[in-house]
Chains A and B, each alone.
Chain A
Amino acid sequence: MNLVIHDLVQRFDDPRSGRSTTVLDGLSLATGEVQSLVLVGPSGGGKSTLLRILAGLDVPVTGSVTFEGVALPRDEELLRGYRRGVGTVFQAYNLFPHLTAMDNLLLPLVHVHGLTDTEARRRVAEPLERFGLTAHAHKRPAELSGGQKQRIAILRALVVQPRRLFLDEPTSALDPEMTGEVLDMIDDLKRSGTEFVLVTHEMGFARRVADEIAFIADGRVAAHAPAAEFLDRCRDPRVTSFLARTLHA
């Protein structure tokens, strides 16, 4: 993918105090032709806000986003069409708790993409098997571990055959053991050629899967480079102190 972001501004109004907070403050970024972009940076720096805009969930106050030269629409109806062609996974609570894992997977295929129940079941069978989740397909989210929930959520985003995935800290709510199984799955996606934008705190993992890394702080891109260069040679003090903290935490 080729992503160009120009002068993105996002503000949120607090209806009670009447104050507005600027989360993205003229953020610009242009990637090369990459398969994966990883967004890192301090909490509250704006990376999740950026990801929501990229995923077509929120509309920025001003600024533009283009993927492969096509600008993201601002109209909700058009954005819904865009969202149907991509996949998004949040930190937690992705799955619908009243549906089994299988029904969670089938829902978008049947109700959004118009497959019949049989076609949809055929579509999900192989990926379930590949990621070792077949035995859990009949369970409700409450019966699944955190890692299993996130893997089903990634699978749900994947089975609609999206152009690319947006992953917002998919492991930050998990303990280390479960983090591993989710990261392994993303590793697998990287090898099989899936395009994605990932927000993460796992710097070691970022090195493994990122083609490019962008460091977002104070609503702007503070540093942006190919992964190896970013991690080994970045001299920006904000980045180096961030890396020192996250790598040795």
Chain B
Amino acid sequence: MPRWLAYLIVLALLSAAGVWAFASLDMNWNWGVVWDYRAAFWQGWWMTVLLSLASLLTSSLIGVTAAMMLRSSMPLVQAAARVYVELIRGTPLLVQLLIGWYVVAAALRMGTDQRYLVGVLVLSLFSGAYMAEIFRGGLDAIPRAQIDSARAIGLTPWQTLGLVVLPQAVRIVLPSVAGQLVSLIKDSSLLSVISIAEFTFNARNVNSATYSTLESYLPLAVGYLALTLPLSALSRWLERRFRYEAA
């Protein structure tokens, strides 16, 4: 069976189940009201894209730093990174956001206009902990012989990192990083708890204004899928592409 046909059959079955479920609910759809709020959806969607991109960049930097600290031979440095990674990965993002905004930001006397900055930072710290493990795996995958070869031709430690280790590690981790971006996009919906007007926050507002719950949240699902499906495809493509490069 061709792959497209398989996908078509699965999607058709899924749609049939959806149609049947909604039909049996006897819903009175009220799409007109929601359509009036399309600008709110659109703005929220873009805000989610921007927040995710900003967090991806920041969390990559945090992740690379933490990964190198995890591999450090200095016990204190390694312990600091390990505690960071385990604390962040072991607690809900929701709690981190609330502490970040209502405790840390408040203690630093940050104004309400800085909630976006705080949101991106907390989300980056959260995602950075996962990135750290991804990058650590990537760095560990580089054989010791590569470092030896780099030293043998006289490269400095920084040149070794920049010309030999990172270019290879990046190829190894790219598929996982693309996958992490998918999580990041969905996790950014929690920023709504500190009143950041991203996609989920705006959809929730539309719901409270119109009392049309499904009409408000179904576009939300579609909006996130529009971001995450291409990324998943990209992740799989990267995985296939770099698999053949290993020596």
Seen from chain A, the residues whose Cβ lies within 8 Å of a Cβ on chain B are 55, 57, 80-81, 83-84, 87-88, 90, 92-98, 107-108, 111-112, 140-142, 149, 156-157, 160
Pick from B104-112, B147-155, B221-229 the stretch touching chain A: B147-155
**Can you name 10 A-B residue pairings with CB atoms under 8 Å?**
A57-B152, A81-B154, A84-B154, A94-B145, A96-B150, A97-B247, A98-B167, A112-B155, A157-B152, A157-B153
Chain B neighbourhood of A81, CB < 8 A: 154
Chain A neighbourhood of B145, CB < 8 A: 90, 92-94
Chain A CB within 8 A of B168 CB: yes
How many angstroms between the C-alpha atoms of A140 and B245 in the bound complex? 8
How many whole Å from A76's CB to the nearest CB in chain B?
A: 9
> Does B152 lie within 8 Å of A98, measured CB to CB?
no
Residue of B nearest to A141 (CB): B247
Residue of A nearest to B145 (CB): A93
Chain A neighbourhood of B163, CB < 8 A: 96, 107, 111
Chain A neighbourhood of B146, CB < 8 A: 93, 96
Chain B neighbourhood of A80, CB < 8 A: 151, 154, 156
How many whole Å from A170's CB to the nearest CB in chain B?
A: 13
Find A97's partner among B151, B154, B245 (CB 8 Å cutoff). B245
Q: Which 9 A-B pairs have the closest CB atoms?
A: A84-B154, A97-B247, A93-B145, A88-B152, A108-B153, A141-B247, A112-B154, A83-B154, A98-B167
How many angstroms between the C-alpha atoms of A180 and B151 in the bound complex? 28
> Does A94 lie within 8 Å of B245, measured CB to CB?
no
Which residues of B, 76-109, contact A by the 8 Å Cβ criterion? none
Find B245's partner among A87, A95, A98, A160 (CB 8 Å cutoff). A98
Seen from chain B, the residues whose Cβ lies within 8 Å of a Cβ on chain A are 143, 145-146, 148-156, 159, 163-164, 167-168, 171, 244-247
How many angstroms between the C-alpha atoms of A108 and B152 in the bound complex? 10
12 A-B pairs besides A87-B152, A90-B152, A94-B149 with CB distance below 8 A are A80-B151, A80-B156, A81-B154, A83-B153, A90-B148, A93-B149, A96-B164, A111-B163, A112-B159, A140-B245, A157-B153, A160-B153
Find B151's partner among A57, A156, A157 (CB 8 Å cutoff). A57
> Does B156 lie within 8 Å of A96, measured CB to CB?
no
> Does B143 lie within 8 Å of A96, measured CB to CB?
no
How many angstroms between the C-alpha atoms of A54 and B30 in the bound complex? 80
How many whole Å from A33's CB to the nearest CB in chain B?
A: 26
A111 and B155 contact, Cβ closer than 8 Å, known pairs A90-B149, A94-B149, A142-B247: yes
Q: Which of A81, A94, A156 counts the most chain B CB atoms within 10 A?
A: A94
Chain B neighbourhood of A111, CB < 8 A: 155, 159, 163
How many angstroms between the C-alpha atoms of A94 and B156 in the bound complex? 17
> Does B149 lie within 8 Å of A112, measured CB to CB?
no
> Does B143 lie within 8 Å of A93, measured CB to CB?
yes
How many angstroms between the C-alpha atoms of A87 and B153 in the bound complex? 7
How many angstroms between the C-alpha atoms of A149 and B151 in the bound complex? 19
How many angstroms between the C-alpha atoms of A170 and B150 in the bound complex? 17
> Does A57 lie within 8 Å of B245, measured CB to CB?
no
Residue of A nearest to B73 (CB): A15
How many whole Å from A77's CB to the nearest CB in chain B?
A: 9
How many whole Å from B4's CB to the nearest CB in chain A?
A: 31
How many angstroms between the C-alpha atoms of A80 and B155 in the bound complex? 8
Residue of B nearest to A144 (CB): B247
> Does A83 lie within 8 Å of B149, measured CB to CB?
no
Chain B neighbourhood of A84, CB < 8 A: 153-154
How many angstroms between the C-alpha atoms of A93 and B146 in the bound complex? 7
How many angstroms between the C-alpha atoms of A89 and B80 in the bound complex? 38
Find A95's partner among B154, B155, B247 (CB 8 Å cutoff). B247
How many whole Å from A90's CB to the nearest CB in chain B?
A: 6
